[in-house]
Chains A and B, each alone.
Chain A
């Protein structure tokens, strides 16, 4: 099956710093989502981005499908950005939208 690798596994920032999270995947995909899991366990959709670039406030994401990677940018980080960030992909075909998740990046933002 498709493999998804995220880096770095852990990231510690001071409030106001910028960061880049990376997601590499082993095969072509028709779906890529970035999620933020808050401290209470809720997974929040950040981006649906199988290709191209999207921005939402301080967050933006870029997926280069031909090179099989995606980047999530967080600018001017805040303590509320802390949590786990997951990249998840769906290889398509008859998978019915099954997502394969990376192991996540644990982000801690200190005041």
Chain B
């Protein structure tokens, strides 16, 4: 089974803090994604990476950056957390020649 692991289930941070959300997949997938989920809006794509050190903006990249130094790990960075970044964050991975995406369990982030 594909396993996508997010480092934290729940996080509470203060406004202005730098926040790191970590995601690790164990299936050697090329593509990795970060989404955020808000009530009534479904999931929206923040950033994705199609290979090591490669990244592209998704639909809502403002206020976020990402890092992919190793194939199995994709990090989402909130440079200066703000209250409007309180949300559920979901990581996913996909093998390059396959269409199915596999999701982690999510991180609920609260920014106070």
**Chain A residues close to B by CB (< 8 Å):** 1, 4, 30-31, 33, 35, 40-43, 45, 48, 50, 86, 88, 90, 96-104
Is B58 located at the chain interface by the 8 A CB criterion?
yes
Is B50 located at the chain interface by the 8 A CB criterion?
yes
Contact B42 A45 (CB under 8 A): no
Contact B45 A99 (CB under 8 A): yes
Contact A97 B99 (CB under 8 A): yes
Contact B58 A98 (CB under 8 A): yes
CA A99 – CA B90 in complex, angstroms? 13
Most buried by B among A86, A96, A100: A96
Closest approach, in angstroms, between the C-beta of A92 and any C-beta of chain B? 9
Contact A40 B105 (CB under 8 A): yes
Q: List 10 A-B contacts (CB under 8 A).
A: A33-B100, A40-B105, A41-B108, A42-B103, A96-B31, A97-B31, A98-B48, A99-B101, A101-B43, A103-B42
Q: Find the B residue at minimum CB distance from A45.
A: B100
Range of interface residues on chain B?
A: 20 to 34
- Given the interface pairs A41-B105, A99-B101, the reply to whether A86 lies near B43 with Cβ below 8 Å is yes
Is B56 located at the chain interface by the 8 A CB criterion?
yes
> Pick the contact of B94 from A1, A4, A97 — CB < 8 Å?
A97
Q: Beyond A41-B90, A48-B99: 19 further Cβ-contacts under 8 Å?
A: A4-B42, A30-B99, A41-B88, A41-B108, A43-B92, A43-B103, A45-B102, A48-B100, A86-B42, A88-B43, A90-B99, A96-B31, A96-B48, A98-B48, A99-B33, A100-B45, A103-B40, A103-B41, A103-B42
CA A99 – CA B33 in complex, angstroms? 9
A-B contact number at CB 8 A: 60
Contact B44 A101 (CB under 8 A): yes
Q: Find the A residue at minimum CB distance from B100.
A: A48
Residues of B within 8 A of A1 (CB): 59
